[in-house]
A and B are shown apart, each in its own frame.
Chain A
């Protein structure tokens, strides 16, 4: 028993110390910081000035922050719907008995292992490029000159260009999660219903979908966590300065605290902390709501 205790300490301590240093302590400090006016991020707690919920109030009253939250919401909702539908569609097709399943699956997941900077550059500099880009050239060759003339990364189209490119990279991951859920459904159910004359869409509606609630929950949670951290894509689509089309809360926070502040008037790291707390809250709310709405799939097979 005594030997066990040393083993406990030696084995657990490094992981727990790192966990406390990188997660527990910073989280609490961020929450506290969000209630203070902190002029310099490096200053100690003694120099902070308590302001209560002033930071949150001032964020809500800042139109750029409101825009960034609205952009995040659009990315989360519209992007989420697009990604989830494509991911589910691909997962169903992959598990419908097609050949080369592993090949298709591997290629569709591949964008997830590519550096987001590299992937976004491929989209911006190749697909959307107004001079030699894929869209422009394709539309030109099809004789659709009005479409070919569109600059996909100008401020009118930027948001949708960004969202589309982002979704392309995200489908693979969520497809794998859906696919693992579908694979767990006993094959006999499909066989039996095929014998009874059910079509593929009918099978999907009455077998696959009801039994997928667990993975739907996982997917929504993971999608929300990644959406909240939306940053690189935004930065790459607006290299020079933050634009209202592409700004997200994390970009706003970055500019507020670290930025070459061409958009930020007031130096206050407490505002940045408040952004962090709000984003954390968003994840928690989504998590609680999905858990309430979607019942666990404790169905007996």
Chain B
């Protein structure tokens, strides 16, 4: 008790000294809330109310039908389903492809190990414009853009391919930090290296797998440029491109409330993930960012 009194006084004084800091951060945070809060409110208002500047007053109640309309008549449900499919399948495949590769690169010495690692790191800095033209050329030559199903498969393959370097490098640092005593014990018990990986090492790497999967899911969900080029028909578009074409058609429909509802629908999945997992995401950024 005796100690806590002066301590408290010091920390209060410290808060006063930090006041400018609090002020700056609070203003920024406040603006973020206003930005998203207003769009959320507008998504429940009517277009007429938005134009009158009454988006925050709801004079005619909450209009849930904006969401229903956006979801059904504006194709948002299709875009949403597409994105969900692309993002979850690609994310799962990425773990399947990259975890074994990362494990081998982290555990075994061979002459191509360093070159592979460095080229993966370098690939993370390669702008999309440097790879998109040949990809498009090859894909069109192979007649893959004619049918919905081949476009969908192609999108998944490309999403996986694009994210291989990042995912592998991220998991590589993760595997390097696992002690090799597990494998030694397993080898003494006669467990083959491949089996050791699937039954012992992969489960141990679970925290890293989860973090990198969150990133991959969010990145693929938000991906824009590649989908713009390859997914040209409305039936195969993911949300980002779908939202763009919806906004584009706003010129004719004039349904602003519906557009804001669509913005919220696109924003919500990653936002919900973020609310629950922000600490994990932030920890992953700082771990992966330094490497990149």
Contacts and interface: CB of A to CB of B under 8 A. Distances in A.
Interface of A: 3-4, 6-8, 10-12, 14-16, 18-19, 21-27, 29-30, 33, 41-44, 89-90, 93-94, 96-99, 102, 104-111, 113-118, 121-123, 125-127, 131-132, 134, 137, 173, 176-177, 179-180, 214-215, 218, 221-222, 225, 228-229, 231-232, 235-236, 239, 249-250, 253-254, 257-258, 269, 272-273, 275-277, 279-280, 283, 287
A118 B243 contact: yes
B53 A22 contact: no
B286 A179 contact: yes
Give the one of A99, A114, A131 with max B CB within 10 A: A114
A266 B135 CA distance: 22
A149 to B, nearest CB: 16
B279 A115 contact: no
B148 interface: no
A106 B36 contact: no
- Where chain A touches its partner, the secondary structure class is helix
Contacts of B53: 132, 137
Contacts of A235: 244
A113 B133 contact: no
Nearest to A173: B285
B1 interface: no
A116 B123 contact: no
B244 A27 contact: no
A225 B266 CA distance: 25
A41 B51 contact: no
B259 A121 contact: yes
Contacts of A127: 35
B50 A22 contact: no
B285 A3 contact: no
Given A42-B137, A115-B222, A176-B286, A26 B131 contact: yes
B192 A3 contact: yes
Nearest to A14: B97
A117 B132 CA distance: 20
A4 B193 contact: yes
Nearest to B140: A42
A30 B137 CA distance: 11
Contacts of A179: 286
| 6 residue pairs, one from A and one from B, having the closest CB atoms | A22-B161, A15-B101, A11-B100, A180-B286, A93-B21, A26-B131
Contact of B133 (A90, A134, A215, A273): A273
